[in-house]
Homo-oligomer: A and B are copies of this chain.
Amino acid sequence: MTSTRRMHLGAFMRPASIHTGAWRYPGAYPDANFNFVHLRDFARRLEAAKFDAFFMADHLAVLNMPTPALMRSHTVTSFEPFTLLSALAGATERIGLIATASTTFDAPYHVARRFASLDHLSGGRAGWNIVTTANPDAALNFGFDSQMDHDARYAHAREFYDVVTGLWDSFADDAFVRDVASGIYVDPEKMHVLNHKGPHLAVRGPLNIARPVQGWPVIVQAGSSESGRQFAAEHAEVIFAAEGSLEKGQRFYADIRARMRRIGRAPEGLKVLPAAFVVVGDSLADARRKRAHLDSLVHYDSGIGSLNAALDYDVSGFDPDGPLPEIPPTNASKSQRDRMVDLARAQNLTIRQLAERAGSYAGLAFVGTPQSIADEMAAWLDADACDGFNIMFPWLPGGLDDFVDRVVPELQRRGLFRTEYEGHTLREHLGLARPANRFFPAG
């Protein structure tokens, strides 16, 4: 391997891992969704391994599953991201903290303010994973009868993003003079009243908190649709990608880079970090055995529940041992649905087989030894298919320990990953510039 680039690593976390069977794996913590001590421990282990960020997944509803799947799902309860990451900010020193927040079901003033506050509390370690919230059940929890359609959500998200970033720029970086002798606390010439009145939002401002330490928290985005890719190319600084193969990863990476070139945006400003599910073993056979054991802990009822959720379409009425029917386009997340449909077609899977994958993890997985996993990760980096990864651990804490104790040192030995943090902020970890203030370009 001769990569000259280093990779960036985020940890994509749910309290008990994203795998449906994770909480049942030997040594896992079935109470991690309730016990902050475990989460603090995970974050500290990731920080010791010099991860760029702890990335908190989120939903705004109990996921709609039939009862037999629901009763087996540890996703039913979870800490809320702002509160969890703020608590972790107080328990860590350097690792980035990425929270998911919805542009559809929250107010831009709250979102701007909470991220600014998290950024100040953490010394510049906050990131905002912008989601438009595909889940129609979320709409019902926020006073709507149904979810906005996909394009309307993105139009709204663009305006929301403009307002939030405008609110972050309410004060010049040097606005707060705090001169005890004269009694002047803030220079009023360095405060901007946004006065935003757009098609979807009206927000006066200013924000009642100083500009974030990072200028703006890091902007993270995961959409894979046409609207999502274009939004990412224009505004994202990290893409949480979901391509399932190196070739698809390369095409996605090239597409994003081309979109950036077309609008004159420099490539350094955006890091593409695909999700990767990593199972480490002493041998390839050992790793596969671990994964098979983990997958065996997923009940069929859970698998079909996960599949229906991913497809946003109920296939439980079809023959489990027959092929996947045509899945109509829906209003839900396109990337998840396409991944399932592609997998079924590519490998000629029955509904039952596909449900087993859905209840496990159907996306990109590196299953092998520390060496083989490092080889695969390096190959993605060399092939310009990514700038690093968002690692999903198969169970917690064991799967996390396997990665940080065995894969990270192998990556470090090859010069592919840092051995010490060089900066203090998440922007510095990711090599991202601090954005200028749009209202006070000099400050």
For the complex, give the distance between the alpha carbons of A431 and B178 in Å.
Answer: 42
Contacts of A117 in B (CB 8 A): 79-80, 83-84
Contacts of A143 in B (CB 8 A): 107, 201-203
Most buried by B among A109, A121, A142: A121
* A253 interface contact, C-beta 8 A: no
Contacts of A203 in B (CB 8 A): 140-143
8 Å CB interface, A90-118 against B: 90-91, 105-107, 109-110, 113-114, 116-118
* A34 interface contact, C-beta 8 A: yes
B-contacting 9-mer, from A70-78, A227-235, A398-406: A70-78
Contacts of A79 in B (CB 8 A): 117, 120-121, 209
B-contacting 9-mer, from A58-66, A150-158, A268-276, A321-329: A58-66
* A33 interface contact, C-beta 8 A: yes
Number of copies of this chain in the oligomer?
2
Given the interface contacts A82-B82, A113-B80, A178-B30, does A90 sit within 8 Å of B40 by beta carbon? Answer: yes
B-contacting 9-mer, from A179-187, A256-264, A346-354, A380-388: A179-187
Given the interface contacts A59-B208, A62-B206, A76-B186, does A84 sit within 8 Å of B86 by beta carbon? Answer: yes
For the complex, give the distance between the alpha carbons of A134 and B23 in Å.
Answer: 46
Could you tell me the distance in whole angstroms from the C-beta of A192 to the nearest C-beta in chain B?
11
Could you tell me the distance in whole angstroms from the C-beta of A309 to the nearest C-beta in chain B?
14
Could you tell me the distance in whole angstroms from the C-beta of A23 to the nearest C-beta in chain B?
7
Contact A72 B185 (CB under 8 A): yes
Could you tell me the distance in whole angstroms from the C-beta of A125 to the nearest C-beta in chain B?
12
For the complex, give the distance between the alpha carbons of A4 and B117 in Å.
Answer: 43
- Mark contacts of A157-176 with chain B using CB atoms, 8 A cut-off: 1 yes-contact digit, 0 otherwise: 00000000000000100001
For the complex, give the distance between the alpha carbons of A358 and B21 in Å.
Answer: 60
For the complex, give the distance between the alpha carbons of A40 and B73 in Å.
Answer: 36
Contacts of A31 in B (CB 8 A): 178
8 Å CB interface, A31-72 against B: 31, 33-34, 36, 40, 59-62, 67, 70-72
Nearest B residue (CB) for A204: B140
- From B77, B109, B183, A60 is in contact (CB under 8 Å) with B109
The secondary-structure label for the interface of chain A is loop
Could you tell me the distance in whole angstroms from the C-beta of A361 to the nearest C-beta in chain B?
17
Contacts of A89 in B (CB 8 A): 36, 87, 90
* A265 interface contact, C-beta 8 A: no
Contacts of A67 in B (CB 8 A): 188
* A364 interface contact, C-beta 8 A: no
* A339 interface contact, C-beta 8 A: no
For the complex, give the distance between the alpha carbons of A89 and B82 in Å.
Answer: 13
Contacts of A206 in B (CB 8 A): 62
Could you tell me the distance in whole angstroms from the C-beta of A254 to the nearest C-beta in chain B?
38
Contacts of A142 in B (CB 8 A): 107, 109, 203
* A297 interface contact, C-beta 8 A: yes
Contact B71 A208 (CB under 8 A): no
Residues of A within 8 A of B (CB): 21, 23-24, 30-31, 33-34, 36, 40, 59-62, 67, 70-80, 82-91, 105-107, 109-110, 113-114, 116-118, 120-121, 137, 140-144, 171, 176, 178, 180, 183-188, 191, 201-210, 297, 299, 302
Top 7 A-B pairs, shortest CB-CB distance: A86-B86, A80-B117, A90-B90, A140-B204, A87-B90, A83-B117, A83-B86
12 A-B pairs in the complex with CB atoms less than 8 angstroms apart: A30-B185, A31-B178, A36-B121, A62-B208, A75-B208, A76-B185, A77-B208, A82-B114, A83-B83, A83-B118, A90-B91, A141-B203
